[in-house]
Amino acid sequence: MSTIRVPRNMRAKRELLKHAPKLVENGKKMIILHGTKTSAVLNSVLADLFHLKRDHAVKFTKKNDNIRPFESGGETSLEFFSLKSDCSLIVYGSHSKKRPNNLVFGRTYDHHIYDLVEVGVENYKSIESYAYDKKFAPKLGTKPFFAFIGEHFESVEGLKHLKEMLLDHFKGEVVENLNLAGVDRIFVCTAISPTTVYMMHCALRLKRSGTSIPRMELVEVGPSMDLVVRRNRRPSESLQKEAMKAPGHAKKLKNVSNNPIDGKLGRVYIPDQEVSKLALTSDIKGLKRERRDAKKNKEHSKKQKVNPE
């Protein structure tokens, strides 16, 4: 016998409603996790990534020894964390002899692993190592630009995947309206070899150019690193199709016209009345006629009987 479980208070209910599937979704949140072992470099990388996304990210600090994203059964607790923290972007760092400075980017769909890309981090420079005028520092939560450079992003399958992954991880919220004053950062990803992407994060300076379009200038603010593609896992065809489904457009309003004199006018179609399918109730007047007729007949016959006597 199953029982109904509902939140006990309004706050909890509101929180759950936030997690519900929606037509227009909230921005994706990122969860950052450590493996059994992480190097100093990886710790710094994860901290920096969290710093970049700290309005839309959750960072766990404990070691996780049962997470192996690419192995079956190893994604169990990853999916659990994704469910509990309502995050659909995953960054998982681990360090081993076989795969040093390993970073796994992943996405979930319906809190199940959707796809994964594994990269190694090389030539890492942290945010702290950059010295620049702090007034150029990008503000938290602004929507970044992206620049992808290099043919390998199109020709090499792994990099193509990584490009999509990086875009999804760092694009920020999907917005319709953008405040132009909030344009202040760019992610630059260059494919320097078929396996390596040089990624850096820069601030944008808008300079006067004499026209309405400002001149762009880049100031590197870090972090920057080389990402060497290792393993990856693409979504299955059916799952991809399912996840790419777009909400249907709202139906066009038909037969309604608006003009200032008449106001709002609608044309209404009235279908044929199907008598055979009408909902019947017990007290339909038409049905009583039989009774009335019977009564009348009775009286009539009485009168007739009286008359001959």
Is 145 a binding residue for other proteins by CB under 8 A? The answer is yes
Residue 127 binding other proteins, by CB under 8 A:
no
Closer CB to other proteins, 74 or 141, in the complex? 74
Q: Work out whether 288 is an interface residue with other proteins (CB under 8 A).
A: no
Q: Say which amino acid occupies 139.
A: K
User: Residue type for 232, please?
Assistant: N
Residues 148-187 that bind other proteins (CB under 8 A): 148-151, 153-154, 164, 167-168, 171, 174-183, 186
- Near other proteins by CB under 8 A: residue from 91, 103, 202, 225: 202
Which of these segments, 30-38, 52-60, 79-87, 129-137, binds other proteins (CB under 8 A)? 79-87
**How does strand 57-63 pair with strand 30-34?**
parallel
| Interatomic CA distance for residues 174 and 169, integer angstroms | 12
Cis peptide before 214, with omega less than 30 degrees from 0? no
- Asked if 270 interacts with other proteins (CB under 8 A), we say no
Q: In whole angstroms, what is the distance from residue 253 CA to residue 46 CA?
A: 50
Other C-beta atoms lying within 10 Å of the C-beta of residue 92: 24
Interface with other proteins in residues 9-68 (CB under 8 A): 13, 16-17, 19-23, 25-26, 28
243 binds other proteins (CB under 8 A): yes
The minimum distance between CB 301 and other proteins, in angstroms, equals 40
Question: Would you say 244 or 253 has its CB closer to other proteins?
Answer: 244
Selected from 92, 105, 114, 124, the binder of other proteins by CB under 8 A is: 114
Listed residue (247, 246, 183, 175) closest to 26, CA to CA: 175
Q: Within positions 81 to 110, which residues make up the interface with other proteins, using CB under 8 A?
A: 83, 88, 107-110
Q: Write down the least CB distance from residue 97 to other proteins, Å.
A: 26
Q: Is 5 in the site for other proteins (CB under 8 A)?
A: yes
CA 303: distance to chain centroid?
85
The secondary element (H helix, E strand) that includes residue 89 is strand 89-94
Alpha-carbon distances, residue 198 vs 41, 44, 99 (angstroms): 16, 17, 19
Task: Give the H or E element holding residue 298.
Answer: helix 285-306
Query: Is 194 within 8 Å of 156 (Cβ atoms)?
Result: yes
Nearer to other proteins, 277 or 291 (CB): 277
Among 54, 215, 288, 298, binds other proteins (CB under 8 A): 215
Total residues binding other proteins (CB under 8 A): 88
3-class secondary structure, 78: helix
187 vs 222: CA distance, rounded Å: 10
Q: Which of 40, 131, 244, 306 binds other proteins (CB under 8 A)?
A: 244
Binding of other proteins by 236 (CB under 8 A): no
CB of 147 or CB of 265, closer to other proteins: 147
